[in-house]
């Protein structure tokens, strides 16, 4: 699966057959209605949030607007600027080094640079706080070594705005790295060689040809990192950096003001919409990179001596700070706290996480396959529009989706409950919002883009002619599905399912808002432990999430390496 498989892009789909004759064109059938119904359902939470904008602004909203809204906007902008520059710098540098140079360990850095992707931002935040705070090993060692006391030295506090930016940069730069590297790899050698023959040296070629060609990919990567920044709740809430997500959570749970929470969410969506627009445009441009179909292995220059060591250090820095060090610290703490953290309840949290993730992954993949099939059967722009709408949720912060689910289905649940109570004398409880159904639905909204794009990429390999070939060879439509489509799609579907699985395990804000009473997952557990300042006890659940997340990163790195046409044929 190519990297496009993981995030939506304007991916063209090879569609089966052609449009039907005019008189059949507008007949509504299941394959048209289905995607629309699904898209409508999935858009429901966002629509519910946006609908709150027309409600008269309550007293609380006015209060929020006067007191905290300015701070939320300012913090979000500061955070965004910091994370944007940080991820762009780390991501592009790393991608450029491993793509164009050979130096000690460069083959390993290629995939190791993706590892911080496994680290939820809140887990890394807890880790560094535990490591660097007053009672942590760093300060204790310094005090012991130099005989200092509290007033003898000063270290910048981790739990601050710059700290939050650093944490987010360390775990989000792989988005930029990934897309920048894919852009570099997809460039034709000819463009680079043409520049050299036209009198540009390697540095100016990089500045004038390579980097501009990769710019859409880099911008798309930064946009994704910024979307994740807006989505983040765990880090900013722990670092007491007030942003929209913490505001929404507080308005909903602290003040019991759903309308205010939704209106904050709607305001946040303006930022999201801007990012979406930027990302989509860059993606569109990124497709027109290469004018030739000729590919050769990109020439890599060996870097020896000091240059090689500097390059290796430049790669070690993000991997070490974003993955190796925190994992080592987490492992250490997990072992320290083993005897009382790993108990029956821990296995229950893990079980909850796994079951939730597995159900969500299966549902998301199934829905995506149905949507992809609908698109394939009907080359109808309306259907593809519906599918794109349905896969927009990857940009919507989990907290907003969760509030939207509660708003959209809360009334529905209460109505059903009331009806059952009056009819049967027994209430049903809250069917959607009171069970894991609401949670699975929220995950579906947020992560559907992953399997949708995987299914698109998968179906792109199944050309219309293959269907025709199977049919003319005597196979019925069901048999075509079983003997041709299923085996060709299985790989992408499985990979996508795995990615959803891991993302669900990491997800914090939506889970926190929507989980049924007393239903705790690993992510929730880590959050609760950290909130109680029991950072070491948060290590075991955090570490388990990270370890599960390594599997798809390995798949991801292999997919990127394979994405360059002809890379392994030379």
Partner 1 sequence: MSLDAAMTAPALEFRGVGHAYDGVPVLSDIDLAVAPGEVLSLVGPSGCGKSTLLRLAAGLEPLSIGSILIEGRIVSDPRTQVPPEDRRLGFVFQDIALFPHLTVVDNVAFGLRRRAAPERRRRALAALEQLGLARFAEAYPHTLSGGQQQRVALARALAPDPKLMLLDEPFSGLDARLRDRLRDETLDLLKARGVAAVIVTHDPEEAMRMGDRLAVMSEGRIVQCGTPAELYRRPASPFVASFLGEVERFEGVVQDGHVATPLGRIPAPGLSQGAAALVLIRPEGVVVGEALADAMPQARVIDARLLGRTSLIRIAVDGVAAPLHSRMPGDVLPEPGAAVSVRLDCRRAHVFPLAQGALSDDAAAPPRSPAPDRP
Binding site for partner 1 (CB under 8 A): 17-25, 461, 463, 465-466, 468-476, 479, 483-484, 487-488
CB of 364 to partner 1, least distance (A): 24
Residue 24 Cβ vs partner 1, minimum distance, rounded to whole Å: 8
CB of 292 to partner 1, least distance (A): 18
Rounded CA gap, 526 and 535, in Å?
8
Alpha carbon distance 563, 398 (integer Å): 30
CB of 278 to partner 1, least distance (A): 35
Nearest-approach distance from CB 417 to partner 1, in angstroms: 49
β-strand 101-102 against 301-302: which pairing, if any?
Answer: parallel
Q: Kindly tell me which of 376 and 446 has the beta carbon lying closer to partner 1.
A: 376
- Residue among 199 and 381 whose Cβ is closer to partner 1: 381
- CA 260/CA 258 separation, integer angstroms: 5
**C-beta of 544 vs 559, nearer to partner 1:** 559
Q: In the complex with partner 1, which residue's Cβ is closer, 16 or 500?
A: 16
CB of 23 to partner 1, least distance (A): 8
407-428 burial, b for 16+ CB within 10 Å, e for fewer? bbbbeebeebbeeeeeeeeeee
Q: Which is nearer to partner 1, 21 or 147 (CB)?
A: 21
Alpha-carbon torsion (464, 465, 469, 472), positive or negative: positive
| Residue placing its CB nearer to partner 1 in the complex, 337 or 563 | 563
Which residue number, 208 or 482, has a Cβ lying nearer to partner 1? 482
Question: Which residue in the block uniquely carries the two structure tokens 């920048």?
Answer: 180
Minimal distance, residue 66 CB to partner 1, in Å: 57
Best CA proximity match to 259, nearest among 269, 268, 245, 248: 248
DSSP 124-187: HHHHHHHHHSTTSHHHHHHHHHHT--GGG-----SSSHHHHHHHHHHHHHHHHHHHHHHHHHHS
User: If you count DSSP H runs as helices and E runs as strands, how many of each does the chain have, helices first?
Assistant: 28, 2
Least spacing, CB of residue 295 vs partner 1, in Å:
15
Q: Please report the DSSP string for 378-446 in residue order.
A: ---HHHHHHHHHHT-GGGS-HHHHHHHHHHHHHHHHHHHHHHHHHHHSS----TTTTSHHHHHHHHHHH
Other C-beta atoms within 10 Å of 188: how many? 18
CB of 324 or CB of 488, closer to partner 1? 488
Smallest distance from the beta carbon of 567 to partner 1, in angstroms? Answer: 14
Give the residue with the Cβ less far from partner 1, 21 or 56: 21
How many of the other CB atoms lie within 10 Å of CB of 452? Answer: 27
Q: Name residue 302's beta-bridge partners.
A: 102
């Amino acid at each position: 699966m190519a990297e496009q498989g993981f995030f939506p892009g304007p991916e063209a789909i090879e569609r089966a057959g052609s449009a039907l004759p005019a008189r059949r064109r507008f007949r509504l059938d299941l394959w048209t209605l289905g995607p629309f119904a699904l898209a409508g359902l999935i858009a429901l939470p966002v629509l519910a949030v946006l609908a709150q904008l027309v409600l008269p602004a309550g007293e609380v909203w006015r209060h929020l607007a006067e007191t905290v809204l300015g701070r939320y906007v300012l913090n979000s902008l500061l955070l965004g600027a910091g994370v944007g520059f940080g991820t762009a710098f780390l991501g592009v540098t790393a991608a450029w080094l491993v793509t164009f140079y050979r130096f000690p360990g460069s083959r390993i850095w290629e995939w190791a640079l993706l590892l911080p992707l496994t680290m939820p931002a809140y887990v890394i935040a807890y880790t560094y706080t535990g490591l660097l705070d007053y009672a942590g090993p760093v300060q204790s060692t310094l005090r012991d070594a130099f005989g200092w006391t509290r007033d003898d030295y000063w270290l910048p506090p981790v739990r601050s705005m710059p700290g939050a930016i650093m944490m987010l940069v360390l775990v989000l730069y792989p988005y930029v790295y990934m897309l920048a590297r894919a852009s570099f790899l997809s460039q034709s050698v000819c463009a680079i060689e043409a520049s050299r023959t036209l009198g540009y040296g390697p540095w100016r070629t990089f500045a004038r040809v390579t980097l501009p060609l990769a710019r859409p990919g880099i911008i798309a990567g930064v946009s994704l990192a910024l979307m994740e920044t807006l989505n983040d709740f765990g880090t900013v809430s722990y670092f007491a950096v007030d942003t929209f997500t913490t505001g929404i959570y507080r308005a909903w749970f602290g003040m019991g003001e759903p309308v205010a929470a939704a209106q904050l969410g709607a305001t946040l969506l303006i930022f999201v919409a801007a990012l979406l627009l930027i990302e989509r445009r860059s993606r569109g441009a990124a497709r027109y990179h290469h004018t030739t179909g000729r590919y050769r292995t990109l020439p890599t220059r060996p870097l020896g001596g000091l240059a090689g060591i500097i390059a290796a250090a430049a790669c070690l820095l993000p991997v070490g700070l974003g993955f190796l060090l925190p994992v080592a610290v987490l492992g250490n703490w997990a072992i320290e706290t083993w005897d009382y953290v790993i108990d029956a309840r821990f296995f229950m949290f893990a079980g909850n996480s796994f079951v939730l993730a597995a159900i969500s992954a299966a549902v998301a993949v199934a829905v995506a396959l149905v949507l992809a099939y609908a698109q394939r059967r009907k080359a109808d722009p309306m259907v593809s529009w519906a599918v794109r709408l349905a896969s927009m949720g990857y940009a919507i912060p989990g907290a907003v989706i969760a509030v939207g689910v509660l708003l959209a289905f809360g009334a529905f649940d209460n109505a059903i409950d009331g009806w059952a109570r009056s009819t049967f004398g027994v209430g049903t409880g809250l069917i959607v919002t009171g069970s894991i159904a609401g949670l699975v639905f929220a995950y579906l909204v947020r992560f559907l883009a992953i399997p949708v794009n995987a299914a698109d990429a998968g179906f792109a390999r199944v050309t219309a002619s293959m269907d025709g070939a199977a049919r003319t060879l005597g196979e019925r439509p069901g048999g075509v599905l079983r003997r041709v489509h299923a085996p060709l799609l299985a790989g992408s579907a499985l990979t996508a399912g795995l990615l959803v699985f891991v993302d669900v395990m990491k997800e914090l804000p939506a889970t926190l808002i929507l989980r049924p009473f007393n239903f705790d997952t690993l992510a929730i557990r880590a959050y609760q432990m950290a909130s109680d300042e029991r950072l070491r006890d948060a290590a075991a659940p955090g570490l388990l999430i990270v370890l599960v997340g390594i599997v798809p990163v390995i798949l991801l790195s292999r997919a990127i390496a394979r994405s360059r046409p002809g890379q392994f044929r030379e």
